[in-house]
């Protein structure tokens, strides 16, 4: 009996020591961010694009169908990294530098990044991919908590090399704290993964858990893909965007991503009927959409490479991977004074030409954002909705799904809870704003999640607030509130504001209080500020 008690005591003590081991209790954390990818662009969210690795993560993990970003590159990245709304972190618009606290165009001293917080908690911290939070050297990733960095400092570039697209554009690629010049055979999506694998493998010798922020530029313009990937999709889109949207919508409903009560939004007013196009126009659009699909496909292949490396290193069971996109599909075109003459000329070439510089535009983005209205930059569902997948073997129940609203501000709180790290009240002598996000760790454990009382959005005067099943949203410059019930009308087709004016007032009051607290400046005021500053420079 004594031997049995002693044996049990040893087993208990051994188990306790193992459970307290930092390597056992602190998981590796990977956040993968796609760029300009729409809500329905991966297979597990209804797409015809082949994404077997992401689909396997969704099947073996957890999907959220109402996860939100901040509708544009820079604001989303600021929120994701800091757990604050973008204006609170200093990036309420883009990287345009202004004096207003919410629009400094760079992360301010009242926030910390996930990397900074986790580094204090004993993590190695790595980033590869797109930064786009100001290219001043004092704001490069290695100055914001990342031990190693490789990627694109700016918002966009050629996938095949360093090719400035703006007049007087500065350096864009960097390795750690030095400029980087891509060599022969470079393809950005592959290169970001190459360095991520390198950082992880080299860091394993330190015996520390790691945080990896892998921010792919795919499928942001320019549409650049490898021929072997394009060939898989060429001809697949000749059926046209109207048919593609219908097919995606049907699959989304069958998968339970979208309720049967939701209707498919009409084709966007900027998009012509497919049958009205000439055969030459149809072939040109089939090519563009095939290249776009190939970019998403290649990103998925690289996520497969990452998962394989984790398995080889014995880290696959101790790593949580979270995947999402920074905004909805992009309507943008390669046109106007923001591009060099050489780039404007390249925009006329076929998308499959590596020397081209083309974009997906309204036509392609309307498919990507099925079944929603609007695009990147707007606060309607097409601009702010992202697929979200969390994969954590042994912790997350395979095939689980949540329809609760969540937001990128939640990733900081979630990461810190999983890591057992406390969010700092001060950092480097500065007082840090309290987190806005709510940890989703309980959701990952199939437990009840408190969620948010309300979630807020603002970008370039476009505004929204989501509270429960209700969403109040406004377009700039009309500045007229529309009210939608997300449970029955997530496509935002039936405006209830005239019928429920009291509800509108209640939610408007919530928005106004948040905007005042979060350093939001009315966009018209911001435009006037920019106009006066430009005039003063003359």
Place of tokens 């049995």: 4
Q: Which tokens sit at 349?
A: 């070439």
| Backbone dihedral region for residue 221 (phi beyond 0: left; psi -120 to 50: alpha; all else: beta) | beta
Please list the active-site residues: 73, 132
464, 457 contact by CB (below 8 A): yes
Between CA 385 and CA 200 the distance in angstroms is: 30
Q: Is 25 within the bounds of a domain?
A: no
Say if 77 falls within a structural domain: yes
For residue 200, what is the enclosing H or E element? helix 188-203
- CB distance 61 to 446 below 8 Å: no
Q: Domain of 363? A: 35-537
Q: pLDDT of the chain along its 538 residues, tens only?
A: 433 333 333 333 333 333 333 335 799 999 999 999 999 999 999 999 999 999 999 999 999 999 999 999 999 999 999 999 999 999 999 999 999 999 999 999 999 999 999 999 999 999 999 999 999 999 999 999 999 999 999 999 999 999 989 998 877 899 999 999 999 999 999 999 999 999 999 999 899 999 999 999 999 999 999 999 999 999 999 999 999 999 999 999 999 999 999 999 999 999 999 999 999 999 999 999 999 999 999 999 999 999 999 999 999 999 999 999 999 999 999 999 999 999 999 999 999 999 999 999 999 999 999 999 999 999 999 999 999 999 999 999 999 999 999 999 999 999 999 999 999 999 999 999 999 999 999 999 888 999 999 999 999 999 999 999 999 999 999 999 999 999 999 999 999 999 999 999 999 999 999 999 999 999 999 988 888 887 887 6
CATH code, domain with 195: 3.40.720.10
Evaluate whether residue 21 is within a structural domain.
Answer: no
| Strands annotated E in 94-198 | 124-130, 148-152, 173-175, 178-179
Number of domains in the chain: 1
- Residue 9 in any domain: the answer is no
DSSP state at residue 446: T
Question: Tokens 């470079």, residue?
Answer: 186
Question: How far, in Å, are 151, 309, 389, 416 from residue 28 at the CA level?
Answer: 21, 13, 16, 11
* 6 domain residue, yes or no: no
**What HEC string does 258-301 produce?**
CCCCCCCCCCCCCCCCHHHCCHHHHHHHHHHHHHHHHHHHHHHH
Q: Is residue 30 part of a domain?
A: no
CA distance 453 to 451: 7
């Amino acid at each position: 009996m004594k031997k049995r008690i002693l044996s049990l005591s040893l087993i208990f003590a051994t188990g306790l020591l193992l459970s307290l081991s930092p390597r056992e209790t602190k998981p590796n954390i990977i956040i993968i961010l796609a760029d300009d990818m729409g809500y329905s662009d991966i297979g597990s969210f209804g797409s015809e694009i082949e994404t077997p690795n992401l689909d396997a993560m969704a099947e073996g993990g957890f999907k959220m169908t109402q996860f939100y970003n901040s509708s544009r590159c820079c604001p989303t990245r600021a929120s994701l990294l800091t757990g604050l709304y973008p204006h609170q972190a200093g990036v309420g618009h883009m990287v345009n530098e202004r004096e207003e606290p919410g629009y400094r165009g760079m992360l301010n001293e009242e926030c910390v990044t996930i990397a900074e917080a986790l580094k204090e908690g004993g993590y190695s911290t790595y980033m590869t991919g797109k930064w786009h939070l100001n290219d001043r050297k004092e704001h490069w990733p290695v100055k914001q908590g990342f031990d190693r960095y490789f990627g694109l400092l700016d918002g966009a570039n050629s996938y095949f090399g360093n090719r400035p697209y703006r007049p007087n554009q500065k350096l864009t690629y960097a390795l750690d704290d030095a400029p980087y010049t891509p060599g022969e055979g470079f393809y950005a999506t592959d290169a970001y993964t190459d360095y991520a694998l390198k950082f992880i493998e080299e860091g394993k010798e330190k015996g520390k858990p790691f945080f990896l922020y892998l921010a792919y530029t795919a499928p942001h313009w320019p549409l650049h893909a490898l021929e072997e990937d394009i060939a898989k999709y060429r001809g697949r889109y000749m059926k046209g965007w109207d048919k593609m949207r219908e097919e995606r919508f049907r699959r989304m409903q069958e998968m339970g991503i979208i309720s049967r009560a939701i209707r498919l939004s009409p084709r966007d007013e900027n998009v012509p009927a497919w049958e009205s196009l000439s055969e030459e126009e149809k072939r040109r659009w089939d090519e563009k959409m095939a290249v776009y699909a190939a970019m998403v496909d290649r990103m998925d292949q690289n996520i497969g490479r990452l998962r394989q490396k984790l398995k080889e290193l014995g880290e696959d069971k101790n790593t949580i991977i979270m995947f999402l996109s920074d905004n909805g599909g992009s309507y943008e075109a390669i046109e106007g004074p923001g591009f060099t003459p050489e780039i404007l000329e390249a925009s006329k070439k076929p998308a499959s030409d590596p020397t081209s510089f083309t974009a997906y535009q309204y036509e392609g983005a309307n498919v990507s954002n099925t079944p929603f209205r609007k695009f990147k930059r707007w606060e309607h569902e097409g601009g702010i909705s992202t697929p979200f997948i969390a994969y954590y073997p042994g912790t997350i129940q395979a095939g689980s799904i949540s329809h609760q609203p969540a937001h990128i501000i939640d990733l900081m709180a979630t990461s810190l809870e999983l890591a057992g790290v406390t969010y700092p009240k001060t950092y480097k002598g500065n007082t840090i704003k309290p987190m806005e996000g709510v940890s989703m760790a309980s959701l990952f454990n199939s437990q009840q999640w408190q969620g948010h009382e309300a979630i807020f959005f603002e970008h370039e005067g476009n505004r929204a607030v989501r509270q429960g099943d209700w969403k109040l949203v406004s377009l700039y410059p009309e500045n007229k509130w529309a009210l939608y019930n997300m449970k029955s009308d997530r496509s935002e087709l039936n405006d209830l504001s005239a019928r429920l004016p009291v509800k509108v007032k209640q939610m408007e009051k919530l928005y106004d209080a948040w905007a005042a607290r979060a350093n939001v400046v009315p966009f018209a005021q911001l435009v006037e500020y920019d106009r006066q500053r430009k005039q003063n420079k003359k």
